[in-house]
A and B are shown apart, each in its own frame.
Chain A
C-alpha cells in the first residue's frame, strides 16, 4: 500500500514540476518579445540631447566628407578625444563613409578635422558642420 502511494505522489510531483516548467517556458519565451513595449528586459538607454546634437553635427560633417572624396580615398579623421568612442570612432565613421579608408592616425591624402583646428598648409576643400576637409 505504501509503495503505490509514494509512486502516486512522485507522479503528481513530476506532473506539477512539468507544469511549472511549461509556465516558466511560456513566460520566459513571451517576455523578451514584449519587453521593448514594457520598458523591461534589455533597455536601450538614449544619450543626452547635447551629445545627440553634437553627433548629428559629426554625422553631417562625415556625410559632407563622403560627398567630396572619391571611392577608396584614405581619409585621416581627427576628432576631439572625448568624441573618439574609446578609439573606435573610425568604425563608427565607416558606416557613414562606406568605401573610404578611415584612419585616426598617420597621414592620408585627405584630412578631415572636426571641432579641432584644421591642418595648415593644405588646400581646403570644404568647411561646414563644425569641421574642415583639406587635401594634401
Chain B
C-alpha cells in the first residue's frame, strides 16, 4: 500500500508537470481550471494503473518497533519540509552563494513560466548560459508551477513540501527494497539511516527531485535484477522523469544502461523521451556550454587542476560514504557481486561528472567547489543502500 502511494507520488509529480507542458504545447493558457482538468485526467489514469497492478503481499508482519522507527523516519520527512520553509531560504535580499541556483535557474524559470502562463522558449534562448542554463530540461520549474497555477500565487515555500514529498516517496521505495532482504526492524533502521541521502538540503533546486526519481528507478531495477516481480514500466517512467529533471538525469540513464546491458531493450521508452528532448533542444537552439570551444587543450588544463580543485571539497555526507565503503570492503567479493548494479551505476555516474569537470569552460576549481558536494549526493543513496545490505551480510556470518 505504502509502495503504491510512493509510486503515485513520484509518477503523479511528473505527470502534473507534464500536464502544464501539454497545455503549453496545445497553446492553452495556464490557469487553475485548465490545470485542474488535466490533473483529473492524470488522476484517472493513475487510478486505472492502480487497479491493474496487483498488490504485493508483505512477507512477515511488521513489529511494533519497526512501526515506531518508521514513524521516526516520517517525522524526519516532516522536519525536512518544515526546515525548507525557513524564510531565509527564499528571501531574495539574502544574496547567499549557496542559494544561487534557486534564484538563477530553477526559481527564475518557475517564476518566468508562471508570469507568462506558459513556456517562452524563444526567450529562454536569449538567456546567458553561465548561470541560467536555458538548456536544462523544464520538468522541475513546471513542477514548482503546479501549486502556483492552482492557487494563482507564487509562494516558493511550497517547493519545500514538494521536495519532502518526493524524498519521502523515495524512502518508502528504499524500505520496500530493503524488506526483500531484511527483517522489518532492520529495514526500518536502514531506511532511517538513508533519510539524509533522500532528503537533500538544497531546497528549490532540481537535485532533490532528481535523486527521488533516479534512485527510485535504480532500486526498482535492482529489485527486478534480483528476481522480484517488478513492473519495469514504472522504473522506465521514473528514469524518464529523472532525465527530464536535469542533464545529470540523462547521464544517469546511460549509467543504468551500462550497468544493466541486458535490460537496454526494455528501457527504450526512456531513451525515446531523452532523444525527443535532445532533438527539441537542438531545434530550439537552446545553448549548452560544455562542448563550446577547443576541447582538448581545455581538458588537459582542467585535469591538471583536479588535485587542487578536489583537495578541500568533500562528497555529500562523507561519514555515510566512508561507512558504506568500509562495510562493502568487509567482504568485498560477495558484496560487490550482490551490489554490482548499484555500484556500477554510481561509478559510471561519477565518471560522467569528472568528465564534465574536465570539459568545463569555466574555472574548474570554482566549478568543483560550487557543485561537487551537491552532485555527489546524486549517488549517495545508492552507495549507502549497498553499505546497508553489506552490513547485514557481515552481521549474519
Could you tell me if A37 and B79 are in contact, using CB atoms closer than 8 angstroms? yes
In the complex formed, the residue of A with least CB distance to B92 is: A59
Could you tell me if A24 and B319 are in contact, using CB atoms closer than 8 angstroms? yes
Q: Is the interface of A mostly helix, strand, loop or mixed?
A: helix
From 50 to 94 in chain A, residues with beta carbon under 8 angstroms from any chain B beta carbon are: 51-52, 55-56, 59, 71-72, 85, 88, 91-92, 94
Tell me if B378 is interfacial: C-beta within 8 Å of chain A: no
Rounded to whole Å, the gap between the CB of A63 and the closest CB of chain B is 10
Tell me if B276 is interfacial: C-beta within 8 Å of chain A: no
Could you tell me if A35 and B330 are in contact, using CB atoms closer than 8 angstroms? no
Rounded to whole Å, the gap between the CB of B395 and the closest CB of chain A is 5
In the complex formed, the residue of B with least CB distance to A23 is: B323
- How many chain-A residues does the 8 Å CB contact rule pick out? 46
Tell me if A15 is interfacial: C-beta within 8 Å of chain B: yes
Tell me if A128 is interfacial: C-beta within 8 Å of chain B: no
Tell me if B394 is interfacial: C-beta within 8 Å of chain A: yes
Q: With A85-B95, A92-B92 given, is the CB distance from A34 to B116 under 8 Å?
A: no
Q: Which residues of B contact A99 (CB under 8 A)?
A: 112, 115-116, 120, 123
Q: Which residues of B contact A27 (CB under 8 A)?
A: 319
Could you tell me if B193 and A26 are in contact, using CB atoms closer than 8 angstroms? yes
Q: Which residues of A contact B330 (CB under 8 A)?
A: 14, 17-18, 21
Q: A71 to B89, alpha carbons, bound, how many Å?
A: 28
Rounded to whole Å, the gap between the CB of B387 and the closest CB of chain A is 6
Q: A120 to B83, alpha carbons, bound, how many Å?
A: 48
From 308 to 326 in chain B, residues with beta carbon under 8 angstroms from any chain A beta carbon are: 317-320, 322-324, 326
- Say which one of B6-14, B195-203, B282-290 lies at the interface with A: B195-203
Could you tell me if A33 and B95 are in contact, using CB atoms closer than 8 angstroms? no
Interface hub of A11, A71, A92 (most chain B Cβ within 10 A): A92
Q: Which residues of B contact A30 (CB under 8 A)?
A: 76, 192-193, 195-196
- Say which one of B23-31, B101-109, B223-231, B265-273 lies at the interface with A: B101-109
Tell me if A47 is interfacial: C-beta within 8 Å of chain B: yes
Q: A94 to B92, alpha carbons, bound, how many Å?
A: 11
Rounded to whole Å, the gap between the CB of A96 and the closest CB of chain B is 7
In the complex formed, the residue of B with least CB distance to A88 is: B131
Interface string of A30-52 (1 = CB under 8 A from B): 11111111000110111100011
Q: A19 to B396, alpha carbons, bound, how many Å?
A: 11
Could you tell me if B88 and A14 are in contact, using CB atoms closer than 8 angstroms? no
Could you tell me if A14 and B196 are in contact, using CB atoms closer than 8 angstroms? no
Tell me if A28 is interfacial: C-beta within 8 Å of chain B: yes
Q: Which residues of B contact A15 (CB under 8 A)?
A: 394-395, 397
Rounded to whole Å, the gap between the CB of B279 and the closest CB of chain A is 26
Tell me if A98 is interfacial: C-beta within 8 Å of chain B: yes
Q: Which residues of B contact A26 (CB under 8 A)?
A: 189, 192-193
In the complex formed, the residue of B with least CB distance to A101 is: B126
Tell me if B343 is interfacial: C-beta within 8 Å of chain A: no
Which of A21, A35, A52, A88 has a CB less than 8 Å from the CB of B327?
A21
Q: Which residues of A contact B323 (CB under 8 A)?
A: 20-22, 24-25, 28
In the complex formed, the residue of B with least CB distance to A57 is: B93
Could you tell me if A96 and B116 are in contact, using CB atoms closer than 8 angstroms? no
Write 25 A-B pairs (CB below 8 A) sorted by A numbering: A11-B397, A14-B331, A14-B397, A15-B394, A15-B395, A18-B395, A19-B391, A22-B388, A24-B319, A25-B323, A25-B327, A28-B317, A29-B195, A29-B317, A30-B195, A37-B79, A42-B201, A44-B96, A47-B94, A55-B92, A59-B93, A71-B116, A91-B104, A92-B104, A94-B108
Interface contacts beyond A14-B394, A19-B395, A59-B92: sample of 14 additional A-B pairs, CB < 8 Å, sorted by A = A18-B391, A18-B394, A21-B387, A24-B319, A25-B388, A29-B196, A29-B197, A41-B201, A44-B94, A55-B95, A56-B93, A91-B132, A95-B92, A98-B116
